[in-house]
Amino acid sequence: MNSKKIIGNAWVYGDNIDTDILAPGPYMKASLAELAAHCMEAIDTSFACQVKKGDIVIAGDAFGIGSSREQAAQALVELGVAAVVAKSFARIFYRNSLNLGLPVLFCPDIENVDKGDEIEVNPETGVVTNHTKQQTFQCEPIPPELMTIVNAGGLMPYLKSKFAKENKSG
């Protein structure tokens, strides 16, 4: 399974990054790629064009608050974001992310991270390391029940193998 390390550069945002910031309503009819190109533009126009595969988003409270639109998490996945570490998450966003295979970690204590810092995330132990600042934070690990889904790459691949097994045995 993919217990490979998640290491990337940080993009740092504050509290209440809502689903309209992540997936702006006016682009909801557009393709995922186009929608993702407008991700965060209401607060940071550089994000969508400069974020690199493997980068990590660090944020404050209530990340992903608002609508149930899965595109909020999908846009981040599309742009290559490898993990989100926030003080807290809105619940639908949290579930959506894990269902899409995007590791998201509650980290109430995280602080002192600057844009570009090198961050390492271990979703199973909940340890987040800021290599640039040489600081370590203990976050809430993702529960094992849910880690199975994340490791499978999300709920769809997970269900797919489950159905395939059932069909074989049935």
Residue for token pair 């504050």: 14
Least Å from the CB of residue 57 to other proteins: 18
Structure tokens at 91: 């619940």
Q: Smaller CB distance to other proteins: residue 41 or 120?
A: 41
The Cα 113–Cα 11 span in angstroms is 9
The Cα 66–Cα 21 span in angstroms is 10
Residue 98's alpha-carbon distances to 73, 118, 137, 155, 156, in angstroms, are 9, 23, 21, 8, 11
Burial class (CB in 10 A: 0-12, 13-18, 19+), 41: middle
The binding track of 115-144 with respect to other proteins, each residue x by CB under 8 A or -, is ----------------------------x-
Residue for token pair 């109430």: 108
Within 10 angstroms of residue 61's Cβ, the number of other Cβ atoms is: 15
Residue for token pair 């489950």: 162
Least Å from the CB of residue 76 to other proteins: 13
Q: Smaller CB distance to other proteins: residue 7 or 32?
A: 32
24 touching other proteins, by CB under 8 A = yes
Using CB under 8 A as the binding criterion, the count of chain residues that bind other proteins stands at 40
The binding track of 75-114 with respect to other proteins, each residue x by CB under 8 A or -, is -------------xxxxx--xx--xx--------------
- Report how far Cα 25 is from the mean position of its chain's Cα atoms: 20
Q: Smaller CB distance to other proteins: residue 20 or 120?
A: 20
159 touching other proteins, by CB under 8 A = yes
Binding segment toward other proteins, per CB under 8 A, in 36-44, 49-57, 77-85, 123-131: 36-44
Binding site for other proteins (CB under 8 A): 16, 18-21, 24-26, 28-29, 41-43, 61-62, 65-70, 73, 88-92, 95-96, 99-100, 143, 145, 154-156, 159-160, 163, 167
